Structure 1
């Protein structure tokens, strides 16, 4: 998902030690895994929302506005199906330093990944998917639009929409990502009734947001951080990006956002926790 916003020039002076970023595929040591549950215990299913009116795909934008200060940072790992040549020529659609920063700061997060991104960076996709700090959700295979006139993205026909989503899940499995979540984010955030109807058989919950970070194409990390900090409320879902070429300031902004929100009493959660809380209130 790419959204252009006005840039504001400011300086950002922060320091951190991130030895896990030495190489694009490096991963920080993981915390010890919990002991396996008893063999007879059934695995829990990720929470989803019930279908909307007329059985349409449900849409989730934010969690309950309760007194509990929780916020979900989400990161779109974008790569359009026809961008392979650009990747071959050296353009980087990944951001391993951002993932390393989230690990170093111990921030749970939800990564909305395109199938094409998982194919291009299978080791990173697998590392994110197997890290209990993160959850992987679906951002389509091709990053093509599900409506017309969506930020210049090529448009999928209604007949191809469900197949595009399922193809992304296939790409995750081939990359070794276990248990991708039944959550879907529309490329560009663009959808209509026809798109919601087309995806009903896929059984996903569409996940939008209520806070736009403005990190797409931004170079001013301070401006991105301010926009997030000004917009966050209890239960917020923040949309950001995990693509170096299209969102180069995101990692620096995160190093400002996380400690400040923690200072304000916020706890970081994955989208699944917010959806579970929302479902419990209904």
Structure 2
């Protein structure tokens, strides 16, 4: 898919996590899963990658299965601030704007850890189960690399704790969060695992249709951070990105599409992934609008 591959030339592979800095910029995989059960894929679609912030979507879902009232602990509002902004968290009195910025994801992981005793396992189990038992693992090297360089998330956790937003110990929470972000899977697995967002006939146990509607709404307004408005305008689909180069988009009633292309744009989203999904949406006329 030359559109995505060409756009990737204008991005840079993340250096934020040292273990990911050596991932080849030329990697590109795409997979589409439909509500009819079809899966179409191309490129490096069987290569596992670090899903990073894509895991936030699945951790949130796992928590909402356990506790539908979890929205009371984290907001659902968009933000123009950076996804790991400490200043915004301070301004909001320690209440994260939404579950997809890092502060919100830390709160979600904290509450999932409190509920299950192992937030990473709960997230992995959900992805594996919803993808039909496909391979899902955790890259220990990436997790350790992330923990070593995790100063900003540590600062966010301390601010959250200061405002009484956390139940678990900070060190334990950060270790769980880094391992959660270090989950690896290929684009086929991610697309399949997220299909419940497009097909309400296959909801995970304990998840109400109204909850799925809310997840999709927050994906549309906040899943791509400061670029969410631009993505809504250009693509018209709820979407989530990760600094590992993954992008997932959802078309309710039709299916999901996941792209992996490591180089990131100025907003921290996959340059090739966004371009590929934009072109895909044009060709298929997928849009929620």
Instruction: Give the TM-score taking structure 1 as reference length.
Output: 0.30
Higher helix share: 2
Instruction: Give the TM-score taking structure 2 as reference length.
Output: 0.30
Q: Please say which structure displays the higher CA radius of gyration.
A: 1
